[in-house]
Amino acid sequence: MIALRQSFHRRPLSIVLGVSLLLFIFWVSSRYLQTDTWQPNTPGTGSGRVAKVSMLYGKRNLLYERALRSHQRHANRWGYPMYVLREDISVGFWNKPSYLLSLVVQELTKPSAERAEWFMWVDGDSIILNDDIPVEIFLPPPDITDVHVVTAKDQNGLNTGIVFLHVHPWTISMLVETLGHPLYKPDIDLGRSADQEAMARVLNKTEGGPDQRGYKDGVIYLPRPWINTYEWHHAYEGKRGNLLVHFPGLEEERWSHMSKWLDIVEYTPEKWRVPLEETEYYTKTADFWNQVRTAKQWIKATEEKLRSPALKGREQVEEGVRELKRALYEEADNMDLLRQRIEDLRAVLHFD
């Protein structure tokens, strides 16, 4: 990804007008709030459930072009449309949420049967290693309808180098707030990756948003190495069969690392290609979403019990459900912790 790191405030009037337009788009799109959730089809049949998105513009960079071609091969393998932004439409890193917003809005204007259900954003410095992996396995099953962002965190917090966004008005609202963050909170220094930090702050909100509950309960964090496996200075953190490799934080060392991996996937792809059924993804992703489902069911059942004035041990129950919510919405990637919080709540309620 080649983007000028200009200050967001270089074009204040155009940004104000842009955000105003986006707010209008959100109002128009609100009529889609009751759209049906698709039932998933078998991956690889061209079901259109997922579309991939990236951006690459500015001075030509052959390594980035080759990296994007790895994603295009993967998209072709599984029947995913792929969209790549080739023009500078905003300021620096703000191109990313701006482009995603335009795609979500455009998708929602289509008849429901013709829409993609999810967009998978991939940074331009990521390379598909194993195109035998369909990305649908990382997405919530059809009965979990209240998850709109599937992503991952690293030691610095949210990392949006690889992120799934649900095609839904909720996502429009979230992206509008992300883009507007420097306007309604101009005193906050968003740092180097301003768009990522703005999105992280919006996703942590527990008030406002389309249903006045914020956005926190619409996000699920996967174990990061599943979808966003890093190449460190010294080694790759993944193993044979992993979906991809990403190169954040390597600065100028990125080029030699990217060149090495691109040669591997282009000339000897079989070295890293492993059928889905032979990878840890096959069982672990199913276990993950089953655990998320169980946590949500316990939260719902417990909140119903809390409405009863006759409930015993109310304080312990409230604490138990509060801790389960925190684990689910902030640390679902720690599967052991989430499992323990479910068991803790079960013990408090004395359920078998």
Model confidence pLDDT, tens digit, residues 134-171: 999 999 999 999 999 999 999 999 999 999 999 999 99
- The pLDDT score that the predictor gives to residue 45 is 43
Question: Span 8-279: which CATH code?
Answer: 3.90.550.10
Rounded Cα distance between 153 and 224, Å, is 6
- The pLDDT score that the predictor gives to residue 100 is 97
Rounded Cα distance between 183 and 338, Å, is 36
- The pLDDT score that the predictor gives to residue 25 is 46
Query: How do strand 157-166 and strand 118-122 relate by DSSP bridges?
Result: antiparallel
- The pLDDT score that the predictor gives to residue 266 is 98
Q: Over the stretch 310-345, which tens digit does the pLDDT of each residue have?
A: 888 889 999 999 999 999 999 999 999 999 999 999
Tokens of 190: 């968003």
DSSP letters spanning 177-199: HHHHHHHHSTTS---SSHHHHHH
Give me the chain's average pLDDT, please. 87
How does 326-350 read in b/e, with b if 16+ C-beta sit within 10 Å? Answer: ebbbeebbebebbeebbebbbebbe
- Segments of the chain with pLDDT less than 70: 1-48, 351-352
Domain boundaries, the chain: 8-279, 282-349
- The pLDDT score that the predictor gives to residue 10 is 40
pTM: 0.87
- The pLDDT score that the predictor gives to residue 47 is 55
DSSP E strand stretches across the chain:
50-55, 82-85, 118-122, 126-128, 149-154, 157-166, 219-221, 244-246
